[in-house]
Amino acid sequence: MITVKDLHKKFGDNEVLKGIDCEIQPSEVICVIGPSGSGKSTFLRCLNMLEPITSGEVIVDGYNLNDSKTDINIVRTEVGMVFQQFNLFPHKKVIENLMLAPQKVRKITDKEARERCLKLLEKVGLADKAEQYPQQLSGGQQQRVAIARALAMEPKMMLFDEPTSALDPELVGEVLEVMKQLANEGMTMFVVTHEMGFAREVGDRVLFMDEGVIVEEGDPEQLFSNPQSERTQEFLNKIL
Amino acid sequence: MIGRFNWAGIIDFLPQLFTGLYYTLLISVIGLLIGFILGAIFGLGRIAHNRIIRGISIVFIETIRGTPVLVQAIWIYYALPLIIQFELGSVTAGIIVIALNSGAYIAEIVRGAVQSIDQGQMEAGRSLGLNHGQAMRYIIWPQAFKRMIPPLGNQFIISIKDTSLLSVILVPELIFQGRLIAANHFNAVEIYTTVAVFYLAITLTLSFILQRMERRLDI
């Protein structure tokens, strides 16, 4: 589904990603953990070209992102993204947030879009909020709307950039629940997270990143209970 | 010696002042309409990725902002026809002046409003597969427009008052008519007071409309 080869990313002189190799299979749930500033979010943002790649190769669903002939807008329709700050459109009602992209990009009819989006809102448990504005919702509800909005494009995979980090602790559960459900349905997921419980329970594979490289990766159970690298041990000791 | 106001007969001049009001409004409305379009174009051009578009926008904005309206009016009425070899009527010239002048200031208003929208909004739109233009049109612009309204109202009022300078290029607007009447009837004090009330009537109406619009758009 995604192949990453020797990915480098620089902001000016500052090299944030220093050679990343990674392979993601369909239906796999990858969780990325690591200290802040380790480059996990940048890595994620390179996968849908929100950050342009400095060098290396990223192939998503057969599209080479570094090829100037690739229409990035087409790739993005296949890759849903959920942001830490939700980034819902405040001037649009919840249902309109979901309907915008299917209508304008997929060009489906108003009626079809509405039906599809209402179903998705039902799925995330917010069908009754369709006609409200995002700011009338709690953080957890907003993030669930954001997930539904990404799903409205019927993407082949989903990127989650610290989806629960901006939430009050008691609202984290409802968002993770939706993500878990999605994983169980077989969605390919790439999740940057600080929720170790989620990574352990739902992740098929965990990547530990530090200073722009993947230090260690493996089965969650194994990585959490028996980390091989010293840096992984140190990190896990601090947070667990 | 201090005399007193003499309002007698002022009513006879009202038709002429209304003619002035008509031209003031005509030039303001058309000028600001074009000015808003210019402002949107150059405001977005000012933050475009393309260097040439950005360069042209900056030159336009800085040139207009850096010269007085009075000079612009005289230049467009007298100098521009020499270049384009085409005589401009004073009203046409007046509309061009207001359009260009307000356009430059509105461009900065547009730029500021667009830049004030959180970058995450554009990213969210792009991540859904919208192209830059679509994201701008459906996501950024509607939010930015709301923020433009208060400074736009300010600029509209300034531009409406700037039309008074167009009397120097013989636009038959309010001040022009007032001066004409005052010169013939020696009632400058009363006439200019009336003219001031006319301007106030326009600007207060505009303020009122804008206030209601702001309230309605405030979700």
Segment B101-129, tens digit of pLDDT:
999 999 999 999 999 999 999 999 999 99
| Mean predicted confidence (pLDDT) in B184-198 | 94
pLDDT of residue B218: 74
pLDDT of residue B6: 86
Judge: A81–B121 Cβ closer than 8 Å, yes or no. no
Judge: A100–B138 Cβ closer than 8 Å, yes or no. yes
| Partner residue opposite A101 with nearest CB, options B128, B142, B143 | B128
Contact residues of B toward A, CB < 8 A: 118, 120-121, 123-131, 134, 138-139, 142-143, 146, 219
Judge: B128–A74 Cβ closer than 8 Å, yes or no. no
pLDDT of residue B10: 87
More confident residue, A145 or B213: A145
pLDDT of residue B1: 60
Judge: B143–A74 Cβ closer than 8 Å, yes or no. no
| Mean predicted confidence (pLDDT) in A114-131 | 95
ipTM over 0.85? The verdict is yes
| Partner residue opposite B143 with nearest CB, options A73, A91, A105 | A91
Statement: residue B26 has pLDDT above 70: yes
| Mean predicted confidence (pLDDT) in A198-215 | 94
Mean pLDDT of chain A: 94
Choose from B128, B143, B146 for mutation: most chain A CBs within 10 A: B128
| Mean predicted confidence (pLDDT) in A134-159 | 96
pLDDT of residue B122: 97
Nearest residue on chain A to B131, alpha-carbon basis: A73
Choose from A60, A89, A132 for mutation: most chain B CBs within 10 A: A89
Q: What is the 3-state secondary structure (H, E, C) of chain B?
A: CCCCCCCCCHHHHHHHHHHHHHHHHHHHHHHHHHHHHHHHHHHHHCCCCCHHHHHHHHHHHHHHHCCCHHHHHHHHHHHHHHHHCCCCCHHHHHHHHHHHHHHHHHHHHHHHHHHHCCHHHHHHHHHCCCCHHHHHHHHHHHHHHHHHHHHHHHHHHHHHHHHHHHHHHCCCCHHHHHHHHHHHHCCHHHHHHHHHHHHHHHHHHHHHHHHHHHHHHCC
Which of A60-64, B2-6, B13-17 has the lowest average pLDDT? Answer: B2-6
Statement: residue A127 has pLDDT above 80: yes
Statement: residue B219 has pLDDT above 60: no
Mean pLDDT of chain B: 95
How close A230 gets to chain B, by Cα (Å)? 36
| Mean predicted confidence (pLDDT) in A191-218 | 94
Tell me: the pLDDT tens digits for B37-64? 999 999 999 999 999 999 999 999 999 9
**Residue A240's pLDDT band (cuts 50, 70, 90):** confident
| Partner residue opposite B128 with nearest CB, options A74, A90, A153 | A153
Tell me: the pLDDT tens digits for B150-170? 999 999 999 999 999 999 999
Tell me: the pLDDT tens digits for A72-86? 999 999 999 999 999
Chain A segment 67-106 residues within 8 A of B by beta carbon are 73-74, 76-77, 79-81, 83, 85, 87-91, 100-101, 104-105
